Each structure stands twice: as C-alpha cells, then as structure tokens.
Amino acid sequence: MRVFLDKIVKQNKIKTKFGNVANYIPGLEKAKKEDLGICLLDMDGNKYVYGDYNKKFTIQSVSKPISLMLAMLDNGVDYVFSKVGTEPTGDAFNSMIRLETAIIKKPYNPMINAGAIAVSSMIKGENKEGKFKRLLDFFKLVTENDTLTYNEEIYLGENRTGNKNRAMAYFMKDQGVIESSVEDSLDVYFKQCSIEVTTIDLAMVGMFLARNGRLSTGEKIISDYQARVVKSLMMTCGMYDGSGEFALKVGIPSKSGVGGGIMSVLPNKMGIGIYGPALDKKGNSIGGDGILEDLSKELDLSIF
C-alpha cells in the first residue's frame, strides 16, 4: 500500500502546476501550490500516510458536512430540510443566482455557501461565541482531536472580505430561511471555515461517516439516517459543479474545500483525507482529485 500511495501521489504532483491556490480569502495565498498529501484509514485500524499529510490548512467547505450533522442533531432532519434543499445546482459554490430564481424559496443544498450559511444559522447556543464553541467541540468529537482551533488571520480576512456571503445571508433572512441573527450566523460560518486541520483529521471524519456515525470507540453519535443524508449530499453536491463528473470518474462520496482539503468516505471501508492547495477552476484540489481518481480505478473503489 505504501509503495502504491507513493506512486499515486508522485504522479499527481505534476498536476499541481496546472492549478492555482485560492487568493480571494486573504491568507490562503500563502499555501504552497506543490504541496500534496494523503491519509487513508481503514476499518481494520490501518493508517497509511504520504507526502504533506501532516501540514495544517483551513478546512473551509469541508466543514459543511460536519456543521450539517450538528444542525440535524440540534433541530431534527425535517426542520433543517424545511430551510435548505437537497438538489445539486450545477453552479459555482458561491453562486447566488438560484436564491431568487428558484421556485423553492431556499438554498439548493447544504454544500454550497448559501446552504451552509443557513445550516450554521441553526446551530444552537446562547450567542455567537456559544454557538461556535458547540460547533468546535463537535468538530473535536468527530475528528477525535481535542487540539483543534481556528486560524484567526483567515477568519478575520474572510469576515472582512466576505461580502457575497453576507449579501446571500441577508437575502436568506428576508426569505425567512435564516431565523436568527444574520451577523452571528456569518460569524459562526467564517470561523468554522477557518478551523485548522490535517489530512488525518479529515480521514477521521471520513471514518466516522464510514462507520455510520460512530466514533472509533463504537459510540454512536448520529443516526444511520443522518449519516446517509450527509453521504448522499456529499456524493451529489460535495464537489460542486464538478460533482457529476466526479461521481463518474471516482464514485466516492467526497467534500472539497478551497483550502485544498478533500474528505472522502467509503461506506463500511475507509476514510480518506487529502491536502493539495492547487485548485482547479471549480475550486476543487487538482492533485487531490487526481489521487482519488487513480485510487478509485486501481483499487476498484467506486460505490457504483
């Protein structure tokens, strides 16, 4: 396996030249374009790591399936999906076009920015600090990593420049999708996106979902149904407007982030975390995408 991973990471490192590091959030541009690493965990307790697996990066959109889990625990599945849809858009992750044009007066799904902000607005807590603390504690629980924190520079940078997210949030308040304070919801969302992780943390979340919402101790945290909801939405919407092609080529429920992370779940088999900050035009890690495609082909991992 190690020799195999070595080969796959090396052959995809070349692709990182053709991608670009995100720079629309101040601080993200500092990442090294050529970095690429992976952590793969399996049901037998094996851990395989390669390349820049131990580098810290901000979780960004890979936080969306995790906040969705807590929102479902806090409010129930029906309430969450009374406010957010379950359909892929085929549009960019930060697109706002369908918010107004869609017949359903709610964001299309929890994996795009609008849907994720709506989900963050549902996290329970006395104030924005209390809400984020509960969310960070939940991240610590599912990664089984007590040391997680958020990157203040990236959080402040996004809060300062996140005008499009802010516009969508105010629009959703007008539509009745967001019921709590808009600014508090955005604060929770920007902070959750700034949580720093490594590929190991992402692979742990992947394993948590692969075990249908169980920690490595066997403790059950979310229901089988809630785990299924998250995995289905990762498969249909997790790679944004690249989700259809990704389903065809890779066939593994996955979620990407503009920090360069990808978290993948092979139900009852594996959790995979990848870091590669060079992104393709759709905002997905270009090297990470390639690694998953090769892994899926060579190990016949597609769920289809």
| Cα separation, 187 vs 128, whole angstroms | 7
Catalytic-role residue among 84, 142, 230, 258 = 258
Active site (annotated) includes residue 64: yes
Active site (annotated) includes residue 50: no
Question: Least distance from C-beta 39 to ligand DON, angstroms?
Answer: 19
Question: Least distance from C-beta 95 to ligand DON, angstroms?
Answer: 11
Catalytic-role residue among 50, 155, 189, 275 = 189
Pick between residue 214 and residue 282 the one whose CB is nearest to ligand DON: 282
**Number of residue whose CB is nearest ligand DON:** 61
Catalytic-role residue among 21, 61, 62, 67 = 61
Question: Least distance from C-beta 114 to ligand DON, angstroms?
Answer: 10
- Which residues are CB-neighbours of 116 under 8 A, at least 6 positions away? 61, 63, 64, 67, 68, 110, 189
Catalytic-role residue among 13, 15, 64, 106 = 64
| Cα separation, 262 vs 264, whole angstroms | 6
Active site (annotated) includes residue 61: yes
Pick between residue 94 and residue 302 the one whose CB is nearest to ligand DON: 94
Pick between residue 121 and residue 212 the one whose CB is nearest to ligand DON: 121
Q: Considering just the CA atoms, what is the radius of gyration of the chain in Å?
A: 18
Active site (annotated) includes residue 240: yes
Which residues contact ligand DON (rule: CB under 6 A)? Answer: 60-61, 93-94, 113, 158, 165, 193, 256-258, 283
Pick between residue 50 and residue 190 the one whose CB is nearest to ligand DON: 190
Pick between residue 199 and residue 256 the one whose CB is nearest to ligand DON: 256
Question: Least distance from C-beta 94 to ligand DON, angstroms?
Answer: 5
Active site (annotated) includes residue 189: yes
Question: Least distance from C-beta 63 to ligand DON, angstroms?
Answer: 8
Residues labelled catalytic: 61, 64, 189, 240, 258
